[in-house]
Amino acid sequence: MEGIYGILEAILPMDAFRFNFMKNALLAVLLLTPMLGLLGTMAVNHQMAFFSDALGHSALTGIGLGIVLGLRNDLAAMLIFGVVWAVMICLIKQSGSASTDTIISVFSSTSVAAGLLILARGGQFAKYSSLLIGDILAVTPGDLLYLLLALAGTLAVWVLLYNRLLLTSVDSMLARSRGIPTRLIECGFVVLVALAVMLSIRWVGVMLINALLILPAAAGRNLARNSRQHAAWSVGIAMVSGVSGLILSYYLDTSAGATIVLFSAVCYAASLLIRSIRK
């Protein structure tokens, strides 16, 4: 890590990056934002903008159930429950029993209530309140390895499934006519999002994860002229927002996650202006 730290100090000669915790946070941002930026494009295309919100809320339930079942690893509990929750949402959505936004809202509110019910017993919720806003400054070198593996896995799946995911989001009937297993593809996508959300939740926070996933993708959609540009714009905006927000939060002494999201919101507003000028 010392070599990486030295490179960061040479590239970014700022007071903020004299500290190792800021360097770790910057590396985490550079690993998290491309992953969330890519996944956000498909979440927007599939009209599942609030899907990550429901998954973020389910993290509380996952930890609560992990405590009840005696699991000592909070991350494992969140990952297992998040994947199960995501698959359930996907299967009910595919059944056509209700609209997507209704299903997501039901699952989101249920997971919040269940998580609070379990974690608030005996006044213990204060121990887990940090999950609500996250703390990217608490990232450790060990955490960076998990994020690197998650990014590599996301890129690999993206390369394998991109065309089928895109066709499924545009016209599922056409995708099925070409032999694409749309139901399986959709479930695979939601599982991938669930894994990314659960891995990010400790540093981004339940309240902010949905915004960080959707805002760059929404801004990118306003600027892009095709699907590949959409992905490129989304990743670029996510990374710029992440790095800029982190640096601003240091000098303004504000929450890093909140500052990153607000910077993403500014980018979205700018994208709306640019789109209106183009028209």
How would DSSP label each residue in 116-182? HHHHTGGG-GGGGTHHHH--GGG--HHHHHHHHHHHHHHHHHHHHHHHHHHHHHH-HHHHHHTT--H
User: Does residue 28 lie in a domain region?
Assistant: yes
Q: CATH number, domain at 17?
A: 1.10.3470.10
The number of folded domains in the chain is: 1
pLDDT in tens, 195-207: 888 888 878 777 7
Among 198, 189, 193, 194, residue whose Cα is nearest residue 146: 198
Six-digit token pair at 116? 């609070």
Q: What is the average pLDDT score of the chain? A: 83
pLDDT band at 119 (very low <50, low <70, confident <90, very high): confident
Residue type, 109: S
User: Does residue 277 lie in a domain region?
Assistant: no
pLDDT surpasses 70 at 2: no
User: Does residue 139 lie in a domain region?
Assistant: yes
d(C-alpha 38, C-alpha 30), whole Å: 13
Reduced to 3 states (helix: H, G, I; strand: E, B; else coil), residue 47 is coil
pLDDT band at 239 (very low <50, low <70, confident <90, very high): very high
pLDDT band at 274 (very low <50, low <70, confident <90, very high): very high
How far from 105 is each of 10, 30, 53, 251, CA to CA, in Å? 47, 31, 9, 37
User: Does residue 239 lie in a domain region?
Assistant: no
Residue ranges of alpha helices (H) inside the chain are 2-11, 20-45, 51-69, 74-95, 100-119, 130-133, 141-170, 172-177, 182-204, 209-223, 227-252, 256-278
User: Does residue 221 lie in a domain region?
Assistant: no
Distinct helix (H) and strand (E) counts, the chain: 12, 0
User: Does residue 217 lie in a domain region?
Assistant: no
pLDDT surpasses 80 at 74: no
User: Does residue 273 lie in a domain region?
Assistant: no
Six-digit token pair at 139? 């990232």
What is the domain range of residue 86?
2-206
Among 31, 27, 38, 11, residue whose Cα is nearest residue 217: 38
d(C-alpha 26, C-alpha 256), whole Å: 11
Q: Report the pLDDT averaged over residues 61-69.
A: 79
**CA 11 remoteness from chain centre:** 27
Q: Contact 202/131 with Cβ under 8 angstroms?
A: yes
User: Does residue 58 lie in a domain region?
Assistant: yes
pLDDT at 124: 67
d(C-alpha 37, C-alpha 7), whole Å: 25
